[in-house]
Amino acid sequence: MKLLVTGGAGYIGSVVAELATDAGHEVVVLDDLRAGFRAAVPQGSRLIVGAIGDPAALAQAFASGPFDAVMHLAAEAAIEESTTNPALYFQVNLADSLTLIDAMRAHGVARLVLSSTAATYGEPRQVPITEDHPQAPVNAYGESKLMLETCLRWYHRAYGLRTVAFRYFNAAGATAARGESRRHETHLLPLALDAMAGRRPPLRVFGHDYPTPDGTCVRDYVHVADIARAHLLALERIDQLGLAFFNLGSETGYSVRQVLDAVARTLGREVPSEPAPRRPGDPAVLVASAARARAELGWQPEAGLDAIIRSAWEWRQRHPHGYRE
């Protein structure tokens, strides 16, 4: 297939582009490089620099088609920022995404694989969370993605747009070639590894009074390559599925403290940390049920937490400054 991968210079998007290229697909990456890096784009794929909401960039991208499918991973995704600057999240994740999808329609592209988020669920009523769980986001990031999901249901009904949307839990880890690197890092594992290596101050652990066993937030961690594999599986089934929403998670929750303990156990070094107040918009527990993805896509995660930590550390050792060498 010929694929347009938006956000393909970012963390998850670059790994999706990597695995798609390795599988023999022809990949064109569209990324404005505000958060992504040229160095993250796999060899063998073409990079078009531009934003998903820019009609000129979209015209250039689609002129390099025709495409069999779009894998849409370009998004704003920092939960805390979304509570203080919601306008950015609704603009990029909703309005600009619809501009992209309308460009797909104009160019006859009827398959979309979407990066959504577990943040659409909000505070869970039961754990593990299934795809039928009520969606009541507690931050603008989750709300913007839920609004896009709602639009896609109508686009499927009215225009026949075939969509597989993945509600990620916490992507982490690295392939041999690509890892987690951001100009403004907010994710636990890269922050913890940099603090352990002395490249950052002690890790700030946000909140110690959540209704969890040790008072810190509990999350479900999935290796980034496992997430990318799900995207390729979706391409094989999208015509039969028509419209489908899948959780991608390990079905196992780890608190922040348990992750730090796992880092110490796996790498033999403690992570310096200090307590900090809760961040706005953080649910206490997010753990997935991935039963639907197993049953309908044949997907299951292959890497556990220790393997995720080890892969992230090995990549960070080779790239101590990420892609900013």
- Of 121, 141, 155, 210, the active-site residue reads 141
Phi, psi of 226 (to 5 degrees): -65, -40
Torsion of CA 74, 75, 77, 78, to 10 degrees: 110
Local confidence band at 188 (pLDDT 50, 70, 90 cut-offs): very high
Does 2-172+222-248 carry CATH code 1.10.10.10?
Answer: no
Catalytic site includes residue 155: no
What pLDDT, on a 0 to 100 scale, did the predictor assign at position 169? 84
What pLDDT, on a 0 to 100 scale, did the predictor assign at position 64? 95
pLDDT digits (tens, 9 = 90+) for 263-317: 999 999 999 999 999 988 788 898 999 999 999 999 999 999 999 999 999 999 9
Tell me how crowded residue 132 is: count the other CB atoms within 10 A of its CB: 9
Percent of the chain residues topping a pLDDT of 90: 90
CA of 286: how far to CAs of 132, 171, 173, 239, 267, in Å? 15, 13, 18, 30, 26
Percent of the chain residues topping a pLDDT of 70: 100
What pLDDT, on a 0 to 100 scale, did the predictor assign at position 70? 98
**Residue 181 CB contacts under 8 Å (≥ 6 apart), including other chains:** 11, 37, 40, 190, 319, 322, 323, 324
Strand ranges across the sheet with 2-6: 46-49, 26-31, 2-6, 69-72, 111-117, 162-168, 243-248
Q: Please choose, from the candidates 253, 254, 266, 244, the residue with its C-alpha nearest in 3D space to the C-alpha of residue 311.
A: 266
Mean pLDDT of the 60-80 span: 95
What pLDDT, on a 0 to 100 scale, did the predictor assign at position 186? 86
What pLDDT, on a 0 to 100 scale, did the predictor assign at position 283? 84
What pLDDT, on a 0 to 100 scale, did the predictor assign at position 297? 98
* Site of tokens 């754990």: 127
Evaluate if residue 85 carries a pLDDT over 80: yes
Evaluate if residue 210 carries a pLDDT over 70: yes
Q: What share of the chain is helix, strand, coil (3-state, %, to 5)?
A: 40, 20, 40
> What whole-number distance in Å separates Cα of residue 52 and Cα of residue 46?
16
> What whole-number distance in Å separates Cα of residue 244 and Cα of residue 234?
10
Local confidence band at 325 (pLDDT 50, 70, 90 cut-offs): low
> What whole-number distance in Å separates Cα of residue 113 and Cα of residue 20?
13
Tell me how crowded residue 202 is: count the other CB atoms within 10 A of its CB: 12
> What whole-number distance in Å separates Cα of residue 48 and Cα of residue 39?
13
Q: What is the mean pLDDT of the chain?
A: 95
pLDDT digits (tens, 9 = 90+) for 222-272: 999 999 999 999 999 999 999 999 999 999 999 999 999 999 999 999 999
Which of 14-23, 46-55, 160-169, 316-325 has the weakest average pLDDT?
316-325
pLDDT digits (tens, 9 = 90+) for 87-140: 999 999 999 999 999 999 999 999 999 999 999 999 899 999 999 999 999 999
Mean pLDDT of the 5-9 span: 98
What pLDDT, on a 0 to 100 scale, did the predictor assign at position 233? 98
Token pair of 218 as six digits: 């509990």
> What whole-number distance in Å separates Cα of residue 269 and Cα of residue 92?
39
> What whole-number distance in Å separates Cα of residue 60 and Cα of residue 56?
6
Local confidence band at 202 (pLDDT 50, 70, 90 cut-offs): very high
End-to-end Cα, the chain, rounded Å: 33
CA of 163: how far to CAs of 91, 152, 153, 229, 246, in Å? 21, 7, 9, 17, 11
Domain residue spans in the chain?
A: 2-172+222-248, 188-219+251-318
What pLDDT, on a 0 to 100 scale, did the predictor assign at position 193? 95
Evaluate if residue 29 carries a pLDDT over 60: yes
Pick one of 3.40.50.620, 3.30.390.30, 3.90.25.10, 3.30.70.980 as the CATH number of 188-219+251-318.
Answer: 3.90.25.10
If phi > 0 it is left, if psi is from -120 to 50 it is alpha, else beta; for residue 145 that is alpha
Evaluate if residue 183 carries a pLDDT over 90: no
What pLDDT, on a 0 to 100 scale, did the predictor assign at position 182? 87
